[in-house]
């Protein structure tokens, strides 16, 4: 009958203990890293969504342009609209400083992607404004 | 050292008796086999109702308890036809005897029982007042005076034997650690190993779930699958946001500029990263004040160029 050395079993148990303890600590580290990565990814995704909502939202753009033009018409401010596939250009000729202030506040307070803003003094009491907005 | 060789092919063999080493023959290098005389072990032949040797284990202490205290004994079982040959021995006693006789345990290969080495019909003279003789199939150690039979020497008894069967290995740790203590340590250690293994498995499963949920984050927001792609998208969106914020802030700075009566912006052109401004001032000296005003916002804008001519300041700004 073979005798099994208890010291050998003890050594095996100790090896298993060390193995599983190492494995556990490795897995805990992995879990922490994964949790951090998930948090970071979640934040990235949320930030992208919020920025996209602000600057890359076609529905939002259409709605705001409609509102802007309606407001301009209601104030009887004449404008010239030139639309390209990616941009929209609004030109205002010889507007009073009061109207100019109103136009600029309408455009700058909304999330229109302004590609170019040009203001020029037409005469002593009027301004020419050209705004190019990305769609 | 006590070394004895009966045949050149065989290892060194020593016969260990309570009285000391039975030493004959010559020395060769290498491990030693020890043959124990019956003074070191108890032997019982029995017919037991078991099929395998390991089944005998539970009966062994009760079989030997009539001869000695069985607490620290080790056992060895050989199946011989219908009979079980049962040996009981005390590792500590053998180890101490080896030490006393100057034999290092690390030099010992295996330990054999005289019962398995010597033949029943010969009497072997140990030359220490005792003789090994077979009585009813059991090799016994009895005083030489009690035996009338002619005895042979140890060399003669072993001369035809090249190797021995059924050797045991001594529990060498016995002198260092008590087996009971080792066994007591094993139970909590086993529990610790079990708990550690369970926890490791639990965390491993959690990680698998985290990996799955991690891979689904971007698809939940209808975004490309990798962090790298999304970081690139985010940085381009942040850049766009910053550009638009700067355009608005510059417009705000200019419209809130401290103009005097008769001063005005003659021309303003703002694009994504630069601006050109023409300002009508009251005189050329006012340009310095206006420049100082713009320099307050140096964290946002950089004045690239400023030219003043006929009370008109032509300013180029990068944003």
> Tens digits of per-residue pLDDT, B162-186?
667 777 877 765 555 666 777 788 8
DSSP B127: S
Confidence of residue B155 (pLDDT cuts 50, 70, 90): confident
Q: Is B228 on the interface with A (CB under 8 A)?
A: no
Report the helix count and the strand count for chain A, using DSSP H and E.
3, 4
List alpha helices for B81-158, DSSP H: 91-100, 114-117, 154-158
CA distances from A131 to A68, A81, A90, B10, B183 (A): 13, 10, 5, 107, 88
B251 contacts in chain A (CB < 8 Å): 104, 108, 117
Gap between the Cα atoms of B285 and B304, Å rounded: 19
Task: Tell whether B251 lies on the interface with A, counting CB pairs under 8 A.
Answer: yes
How far is A70 from chain B, CA to nearest CA, in Å? 23
- Domain positions in chain B are 12-175, 244-318
| pLDDT score for A52 | 92
| Cross-strand bridge partners of residue B309 | B312
Contacts of A57 in chain B (CB under 8 A): none
Joined tokens for residue B43: 């032997």
Name the nearest CA neighbour of A134 among B145, B76, B244, B106: B244
Does ipTM come in above 0.90? Answer: no
Indicate the DSSP class of residue B150: P
Instruction: Among A48, A52, A98, pick the best mutation site for testing chain B contact (most B Cβ within 10 A).
Output: A48
Q: Are B247 and A24 in contact (CB < 8 Å)?
A: no
Strands B32-36 and B12-17: parallel
Dihedral of CA atoms B52, B55, B61, B67 in degrees, nearest 10, equals -20
Domain boundaries, chain A: 7-56, 58-134
Nearest partner of A11 among B111, B199, B173, B54, judged by Cα: B173
Answer whether B87's CB lies under 8 Å from B113's CB: yes
Q: Tell which B residues from 182 to 211 touch A, by Cβ distance under 8 Å.
A: 182-183, 185-186, 189-190, 192-193, 196-197, 199-200, 203-204, 206-207, 210-211
Beta bridge partners of B269: A118, B276
In angstroms, how far is CA B5 from the centroid of its own chain? 43
Structure-token pair, residue B32: 């030693």
- All residues of chain A having their beta carbon less than 8 Å from the beta carbon of residue B74 are 3
Question: How far is it, in rounded angstroms, from Cα B309 to Cα B311?
Answer: 5
Which of B135, B159, B164 minimizes the C-alpha distance to B35? B164
Give the model confidence (pLDDT) of B204-213 as tens digits. 999 999 999 9
Residue among B207, B38, B212 at smallest CA distance from B118: B38
List the single range of A130-134, B83-87, B171-175 with lowest mean pLDDT.
Answer: B171-175
* 3-state percent breakdown (helix, strand, coil) of chain B, nearest 5: 40, 30, 35
Yes or no, beta carbons of A115 and B271 under 8 Å apart: yes
What does the block give as tokens for B50?
Answer: 């078991």
List of residues 6+ apart from A50 with CB closer than 8 A: none
**Contact residues, chain A, for B233 at CB < 8 Å:** 48
Q: Does B264 touch chain A (CB under 8 A)?
A: yes
Q: What is the mean pLDDT of residues B299-306?
A: 90
Nearest by CB: B74 against A3, A14, A52? A3
pLDDT at A10: 87
pTM for the model:
0.58
Q: Tell me which CATH code domain B244-318 carries.
A: 3.30.1360
Which residues from chain A sit within 8 angstroms of residue B256, using beta carbons? none
Give the model confidence (pLDDT) of A77-114 as tens digits: 999 999 888 899 999 999 998 999 999 999 998 888 99
**Sorting pLDDT into bands at 50, 70 and 90, what band is B203?**
very high
CB burial readout B173-191, b (16+ within 10 A) else e: bbeeeebeebeeeeeebee
Distance (Å) of CA B293 to CA A14, B142, B297: 75, 122, 8
Contact at CB, A20 and B227, closer than 8 angstroms: no
- Chain B nearest C-alpha distance from A97 (Å): 11
Q: How far apart are the first and last CA of chain B?
A: 96
> How near does any CA of chain A get to the CA of B199, in Å?
7
Nearest 5 degrees, angle CA A48-CA A45-CA B215? 150
Q: How far apart (Å, rounded) are the C-alpha atoms in residues B79 and B45?
A: 10
Q: Is the pLDDT of residue A119 over 80?
A: yes
Which segment of B74-88, B157-171, B183-197, B216-230 scores lowest on mean pLDDT?
B157-171
Q: pLDDT higher for B28 or B164? A: B164
Q: In terms of CATH architecture, what is B12-175?
A: 2-Layer Sandwich (3.30)
Q: How far apart, in Å, do the first and last CA atoms of chain A sit?
A: 88
Cα–Cα distance measured from residue A134 to residue A65, given in angstroms and rounded to the nearest whole number:
11
CB–CB of B171 and A9 under 8 A?
no
Helix (H, G, I), strand (E, B) or coil at B80: strand
pLDDT-derived band at B11 (thresholds 50, 70, 90) equals low
**Where do we find the tokens 């009497």?**
B123
Which is higher by pLDDT, B8 or B83? B83
pLDDT tens sequence across A38-68: 999 999 999 999 999 988 888 888 888 999 9
H or E stretch at A5: none
- Asked if A104's CB is within 8 angstroms of B271's CB, the reply is no
Q: List the CATH code of the domain at A58-134.
A: 3.30.70
In B, which residues are within 8 Å of A21 by CB distance?
196
């Amino acid at each position: 009958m073979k005798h099994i050395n208890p010291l050998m079993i003890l050594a095996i148990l100790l090896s298993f203990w060390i193995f599983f303890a190492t494995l556990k600590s490795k897995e805990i580290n992995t879990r922490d890293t994964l949790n951090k990565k998930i948090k970071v990814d979640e934040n990235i995704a949320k930030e992208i969504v919020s920025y996209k909502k602000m600057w890359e939202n076609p529905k939002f753009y259409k709605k705001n342009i409609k509102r802007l033009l309606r407001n301009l018409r209601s104030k009887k401010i004449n404008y010239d609209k030139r639309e390209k596939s990616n941009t929209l250009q609004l030109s205002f000729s010889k507007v009073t400083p009061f109207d100019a202030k109103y136009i600029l506040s309408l455009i700058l307070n909304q999330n229109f992607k302004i590609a170019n803003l040009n203001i020029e003094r037409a005469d002593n009491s009027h301004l020419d404004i050209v705004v190019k907005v990305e769609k | 050292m006590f070394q004895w060789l009966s045949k050149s092919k065989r290892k060194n063999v020593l016969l260990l008796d309570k009285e000391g080493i039975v030493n004959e023959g010559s020395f060769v290098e290498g491990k030693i086999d020890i043959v124990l005389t019956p003074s070191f072990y108890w032997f019982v032949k029995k017919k037991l109702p078991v099929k395998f040797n390991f089944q005998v284990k539970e009966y062994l202490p009760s079989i030997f308890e009539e001869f000695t205290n069985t607490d620290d004994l080790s056992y060895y079982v050989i199946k011989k036809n219908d009979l079980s040959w049962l040996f009981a021995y005390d590792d500590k006693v053998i180890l101490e005897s080896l030490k006393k006789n100057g034999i290092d345990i690390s030099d010992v290969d295996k330990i054999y029982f005289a019962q398995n080495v010597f033949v029943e019909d010969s009497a072997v003279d140990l030359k220490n007042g005792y003789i090994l003789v077979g009585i009813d199939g059991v090799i016994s150690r009895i005083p030489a005076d009690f035996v009338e039979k002619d005895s042979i020497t140890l060399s003669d008894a072993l001369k035809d034997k090249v190797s021995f069967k059924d050797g045991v290995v001594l529990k060498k740790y016995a002198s260092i650690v008590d087996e009971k203590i080792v066994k007591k340590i094993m139970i909590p250690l086993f529990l610790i190993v079990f708990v550690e293994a369970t926890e490791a498995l639990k965390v491993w499963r959690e990680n698998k779930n985290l990996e799955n949920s991690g891979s689904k984050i971007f698809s939940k927001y209808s975004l490309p699958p990798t962090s790298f792609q999304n970081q690139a998208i985010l940085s381009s969106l942040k850049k766009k946001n910053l550009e638009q914020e700067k355009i608005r802030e510059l417009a705000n700075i200019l419209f809130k500029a401290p103009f005097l009566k008769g001063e005005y912006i003659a021309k303003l052109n703002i694009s994504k990263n630069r601006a050109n401004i023409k300002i009508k001032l009251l005189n050329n000296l006012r340009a310095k004040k206006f420049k100082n005003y713009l320099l307050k916002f140096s964290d946002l804008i950089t004045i690239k160029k400023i030219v003043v001519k006929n009370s008109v300041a032509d300013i180029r700004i990068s944003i």
